[in-house]
Each structure stands twice: as structure tokens, then as C-alpha cells.
Amino acid sequence: MKAVAYFNPLPITDDAALQDVALPMPAIGARDLLVRVAAVSVNPADTKVRASAQPEAGQAKVLGWDAVGTVEAVGSAVAYFKPGDRVYYAGDITRAGTNAEFHAVDERIVGLAPRSLSDTEAAALPLTAITAWELLFDRLKVPARATDAANAPDGGGKTLLVIGGAGGVGSILLQLARQRTDLKIIATASRPETRQWCLELGAHHVIDHSQPLAAQLQSLDIDAVDMVASLTQTEQHFAAAVALLRPQGQFALIDDPKHLDAMQLKRKSISLHWEFMFTRSMFETADIGQQRELLNAVAAMVDAGQLKTTVQADLGPINAANVRRAHAMIETGRSQGKVVLKGFAPETMNRP
């Protein structure tokens, strides 16, 4: 089968950073699905692994942790899917990625794809939806909406500050928080187009993270927040966010700051929550199947018109040149929503 892979960590400007390769068909385990990949999206995780993880000598490493496709075959213990099912998922960072014609994935982290979306639209959702859902409901344990806050102009409950609201995870987090919780939502964005994007997705207010945060919140008559979801540049904004949090507040993050002084949290008894959506699959936790359940819940919300896809750029079919373009866009740190690619061109497809 055809795939896009790398052999050595290289800058994305190097043509060898990602290469077109031919690989054997993946073997499937008892709980696995073999999926014919129809579309993928590219995430910051792809760029971080490519830039830092050295594959075994002479071995090609395939990236990609978002996909939509059709089930071609199932393992002997598969309980929830059958050949022909259209599925979507974010995969397992310890296994080969989705930038390939065929991909093997554990059924417990797979959902049925939203019926109302195209393949590329659906491929934009899994990793960011899982991350946003787990951050809100598993880490911060925000309760489900008790009132019709989705239609309330200023929210009805505690206050959530989302740093980096226009990125991939933020674009889903804002929608979930608006649709399913009573939170008053303040997002940060630094450009007119990203500011408008955040408002369209459900933020009650948007402030500029390139400017001091406290003064902007005070202009909105907000002197403190109950929760912070830091989705990017946490190291840069950490001290300001801690200062803004109420005593006994909650701080959640998803990125990888080189230094994080947790002692700053002690005086206010602020709790720290790290969200990493691959934890359940990496450690095969007892609740691993919750990812299948939440993906199905997200698909139902999409098909009901409550959530929308966050595609901002479709770069065409999966090949090394297009995947390199996607990585370069992500590495600017200024991407909005998600970057997606269609499956391999039809003439390259090989059936198992």
C-alpha cells in the first residue's frame, strides 16, 4: 500500500522530511478494524513527532492521528463494527499513523462518522473533539447544562477562559462549552478573522492574547475566572492566567511547556489538569471505550446541527508534498481550524 512517512527528523523545508513510500498491508489484532482511509487531518501532534522522534534505523514512520474511512475487515473479537461501516477516529500514537491507504485501529476508540458530513469534513473532528470533550467533562468535570445557556447572551454559570480559541481544539471546545454547559465563555484571539471565528463558534466574549489579559477582562466587568483552558503558548500566559483565576479555581492545558512552575498554584489551591487524548489508548485503560462513546455522541450532535466541522483548508489528496504543506501551515502557529487531505488518488488504491 502507499503511505507518507519519514526516516529521520528533519525541518519541514527539507523534501526528505516526509516521503512517499510503499509499505506492507497492516496486520489486524482481535479488537482491530482494517480501515480504507478516505481522508485525514493534520494536527500539531504530527509536527511534534516528526521533528523529534527518531524511527528505528531504516524504518519508515507513518504519522497521522485523524481519519475517516470504510471498514474493510474486522478482527475476531470485534463487537461494534462490520465491513462497510463508515467510521472516524484519532487512532493511537503508539501505532502506525493514518497517512496511508489502509490503517489498523482498535475498535474501542472508533466512532461511526457523522452522516451529514463529507469525508474531509468528518476527518477534521476526531482528535480535537476527543481532546475538547475530555478536557471539559473528564478533567475539569464541568456539569451538563442545567439551563438553556446556549441561547443566553452572557452564559449562566461559572466563567471559562479559553486561551487560543481559534485553533483546532479551541474551535470544538467553544462549541461544546456553549452547547452543553452553563459556562460563560471568554476566548482569546489576536486577529480580526480569528476573533470573529470564536464568536461564531460560541464565545460570549473575545479578548486579545497579545495584550494584557486582566485589563481586557476588567473592561467586561470580569474580575476573575473559575477555569482556564490553555490550548497554546501556556508558558507565555501561565502567570497571567494564575493571577486571573479565583481561589480554588482550575487550570487545564494540552500543550508542552518546557517549564511550568506549579508552585504558583499553591497559594490559591488551584488544581492542575493535563489533557492528553492518547492516554486511554496508550495504557489501554479500563474506560478506553469512552472514546468510542464520545465520538458517537459528537457525531449525533453534528447530525442534529449542534456542532459544525472546523475545516479551514483542504490541501487535496494525501501525498508527501501535500502533507509537507500541511505541516508547514501548522508550524506557523497561526492556523485557524483544521487542515485536511483527501485519500490517495483512486488509481493508487490497492485492495487487501
Is the per-residue pLDDT at 351 higher than 70? Answer: no
Torsion of CA 156, 161, 162, 163, to 10 degrees: 160
pLDDT per position as a tens digit, 185-225: 999 999 999 999 999 999 999 999 999 999 999 999 999 99
pLDDT per position as a tens digit, 30-71: 999 999 999 999 999 999 999 999 999 989 999 999 999 999
Is the per-residue pLDDT at 300 higher than 90? Answer: yes
2-125+287-348 is a CATH 3.90.180.10 domain: yes
> One-letter amino acid identity for 319?
N
Cβ partners under 8 Å of residue 28, min gap 6: 34, 73, 74, 75, 104
Is the per-residue pLDDT at 314 higher than 50? Answer: yes
Question: Residue 350's pLDDT is what?
Answer: 44
CB 182 within 8 A of CB 204: no
For residues 306-326, average pLDDT: 94
Torsion of CA 71, 73, 76, 78, to 10 degrees: 0
The answer to pTM > 0.85 is yes
122-159: buried (b, 16+ CB within 10 Å) or exposed (e) per residue? bbbbbbbbbbbbbbbbbbbebeebeeebbeeeebebbb
Q: How far apart are the first and last CA of the chain?
A: 9
pLDDT-derived band at 334, boundaries 50, 70, 90: confident
Q: What is the domain partition of the chain in residue ranges?
A: 2-125+287-348, 131-274
Q: Percent of the chain beyond pLDDT 70?
A: 95
Q: What secondary structure does DSSP assign to 203-243, as a single string?
A: -SEEE-TTS-HHHHHHHTT---EEEEEE-S-HHHHHHHHHH
Helix, strand, or coil here: 256? coil
Question: Residue 155's pLDDT is what?
Answer: 58
- Grid cell of 117 as nine digits: 458530513
pLDDT-derived band at 144, boundaries 50, 70, 90: confident
For residues 303-310, average pLDDT: 95
* C-alpha–C-alpha distance, residues 148 and 171, integer Å: 21
Question: Residue 153's pLDDT is what?
Answer: 56
Q: Percent of the chain beyond pLDDT 90?
A: 88
Which among 166, 170, 119, 172 is positioned nearest to 314, based on CA atoms?
119
pLDDT per position as a tens digit, 72-121: 999 999 999 999 999 999 999 999 999 999 999 999 999 999 999 999 99
* C-alpha–C-alpha distance, residues 119 and 212, integer Å: 40
Tell me what percent of the chain is helix, strand and coil, each rounded to the nearest 5.
Answer: 35, 25, 40
131-274 is a CATH 3.40.190.10 domain: no
